[in-house]
Chains A and B, each alone.
Chain A
Amino acid sequence: MAKKLVFLLVMIFVLLSVSVTVFAGTGSDAPEVGFTDDKANLENKDSGNKVRVSDLEEKYGEVFFGEDSESSTEIVSINYGRVYPFEMRHEFFGQTNDYDIQNPHIMLMYIKRDGKYVRLKDVERKTNITEEICYLNTVVDLENIGQNKVNEVRVIIFRKNDVDNLVLDENLQITNFEITFRRWNPVERAFFELKQVFN
């Protein structure tokens, strides 16, 4: 009897250990139809030297944060729009046809708070720096709402390869925005907030 039991257990054990390979993945079975090099392009393309915001602020603080700093020429024309239903949320965007895959554009966002410019961070990426080849965009929450409350936003743009020698109006763009806005319709807002609570 004991022998039979042992034999049975051994058989089960052998079968289990053999069947492990059945569950082994054979690799992705998703066909590569439609996937070309584009997939590779979506991998982290941030190769090469990383630009550190703190280093830039230290080196170019005078021109970045100067009271009168504003360029008369544009590298990238920037616009913005408000994002419903978020009260403070705004999207800044700009496209350029003058691009180079090896030399992307850098955009830095700042907002004036208590007389000083502080970093205005993207709500998703949690950074105020955007690095892209031809289309720049960032979504931020401004800080002041109301008819007489002005948000002084500063957008700084330059090419990555120029980072060691930025000169205003030559290879450095500084654009200032003064943005005021009111609350969305209060009835709409109340309804939205109620829905958020119950969702």
Chain B
Amino acid sequence: MRKDNKERIKTKILISLIILSVIQIGIHWNMQTQGLPFHFISKIFGGNGRAANLDVDSLKNRYFTPDSITVSISTSHWRLDERDSQFKKVWEDIRDNYIPSIIKKKPEKILPKEQWAEITSYRCVRIDFEISWPSNIIHWLAQVKPGDTKAFEGIKSIVIAPQLDVNETVNTIFIYDNNQIYRYQVNIDDEFLAKRYYSNLADELTAKNKPILRLLSTVSNFTSEEDIYVALTDGKGSAFSKISTGIPEQIVLNRANMENYNIQDNILLDQKESLSADYADSSKYVMFTDTENLYRLYENGILEYKYIPSTASNQDDISAAFKHAVTFIEQRRHLVGDADIVLKSIDKEHSNIYRIEFEYKLEGVPVYYTERQGAGISSPLIIKANSERILECRWVIRYFNKFDKPMDYSVNFADLLNKQIVSTYPEILESRDKLFKRLEPGYIYNLSDLDSAFLLPNWIISTNSKDYFIPLARKGG
């Protein structure tokens, strides 16, 4: 009997030791990777509620949004952005209905990219992305497996041309992946927007006095790599808010934030206990490190991360790399205020490593970044990742919040040339380099803006050689 009891006690101790060791392994894995195999453990040991293991799948749609939606009839164009109610309607219809539908099927026809200009001259609704989204990521985002025949390599632009088919229950859609054009006929089911909605969109926008746009290359001596639209008449103008920006209070580098664990909670999250800190009051940065991870937070709000061991992944999985990047960002998203973080580029480097660049946007208006006054635009958030983990990150962390009600500004192209460029940057007109990469309203901030500042909208003009920033003029003077 006594022996039985002893054995039972030993067994119970053994079982609890095994459970404890499994928990410890889980904690160790949680700290080393951006994914945690034991969800319940993260909940038990989760610190300030920002779980290390986010449900990225529910957040991915934040990143998969168009750069612009343009409605075109002949040479007249109207641009939608996220502030327009039609933007959300159209995009959700495309994302949730059309894309899953076309992924599974073969295109009706494949056309050379030279025909893109002709296709976009039809009466159409055009969705443009900043980059050509790789098809692997599209499949993950749409949660749809492609059919046996893989068609497009990616999606750079989508065109819906409702006039090309008289049948009210069929819509014609073109996908452009920078190499070829893929034409599809899609049956419009009940959950789709009616075809009539796309046909009448231009009339709806005209009735709302949305400025009519023209292609820059057709109304001026300038050319552009991609289509740039300008307004020759802009009615009452376009509305923009003043934006407040600065380094988030929680991560301002000072002794108080270190002792209160504010910085650790917001940057290191669940890794804060395992990383040792190196900080002195006079230093310009704090370093957190262990054998595998190195975090450095500078007083100017730059966060650097490096996975120290050299690593190579045999698996080339762009969607896994993207997912890791998104997870890293989403765990710290609360720091950027009202701003959106949008994908700017994704390029493969060596050894199955992807360099992924992001930028900020606020209500569809880009917020550009420069390292210093006079420097060109660069990415505030660059991540290198492979299929297994984040390897490096450099992030200029700022919050961006709308400060007041929007005001009307002139976006008239003729006024920009006649009244602003001729007196501020005449070299734009005089230069032989007439190729524009960018000509649009946006906001601009640079690294030296440490204290809270207000940003007003500017014209952001980029040629091959330089970036120019010209404040938008208020409508009505």
Contacts and interface: CB of A to CB of B under 8 A. Distances in A.
Contact of A135 (B76, B212, B220): B220
B203 A192 contact: yes
Contacts of B410: 42
Interface in A140-199: 188, 191-192, 195-196, 199
Contacts of B187: none
A134 B422 CA distance: 8
A17 interface: no
Interface stretch (A19-27, A54-62, A64-72, A82-90): A82-90
A114 interface: no
A39 B473 contact: yes
A124 B202 contact: no
B414 A42 contact: no
- Most A CB within 10 A of own CB, among B203, B456, B472: B203
A33 interface: yes
A5 to B, nearest CB: 45
B220 A38 contact: no
A151 B471 CA distance: 40
Given A97-B221, A134-B418, A139-B233, A37 B423 contact: yes
B207 A195 contact: yes
B11 interface: no
Interface string B165-177: 0000000000000
A84 B414 contact: no
Interface string B184-212: 00000000000000001011101100001
B94 to A, nearest CB: 23
Given A84-B202, A97-B430, A35 B456 contact: yes
Given A84-B76, A135-B417, A38 B470 contact: yes
Contact of B74 (A41, A82, A139): A82
Describe B's contact surface by its main secondary structure.
mixed
B214 interface: yes
A127 interface: no
B454 interface: yes
A103 to B, nearest CB: 12
Taking residues whose C-beta sits less than 8 angstroms from the other chain, chain B's interface range is 35 or more
A41 B232 contact: no
Contact of A31 (B74, B424, B454): B454
Contacts of B430: 97
A33 B454 CA distance: 7
A188 B74 CA distance: 13
Contact of B422 (A34, A37, A99): A99
- Most B CB within 10 A of own CB, among A124, A134, A195, A196: A134
- Most B CB within 10 A of own CB, among A34, A97, A139: A34
Nearest to B471: A34
A93 B219 contact: yes
Contact of A191 (B203, B423, B474, B477): B203
Interface string B407-428: 0001001110111101110000
Given A33-B454, A139-B232, A191-B203, 18 more contacts: A34-B471, A38-B424, A38-B471, A42-B410, A79-B219, A81-B218, A82-B76, A83-B212, A84-B206, A84-B212, A85-B202, A93-B219, A95-B417, A124-B233, A132-B414, A132-B418, A192-B203, A195-B203
Q: Which 6 A-B pairs have the closest CB atoms?
A: A34-B456, A34-B471, A135-B417, A84-B76, A81-B75, A84-B73
28 contacts: A31-B454, A33-B456, A34-B456, A35-B471, A36-B424, A38-B420, A38-B473, A41-B419, A42-B415, A42-B473, A79-B219, A81-B76, A81-B214, A84-B76, A85-B73, A85-B206, A93-B220, A95-B219, A101-B422, A133-B418, A134-B417, A135-B417, A137-B414, A139-B232, A139-B233, A192-B203, A192-B206, A199-B207
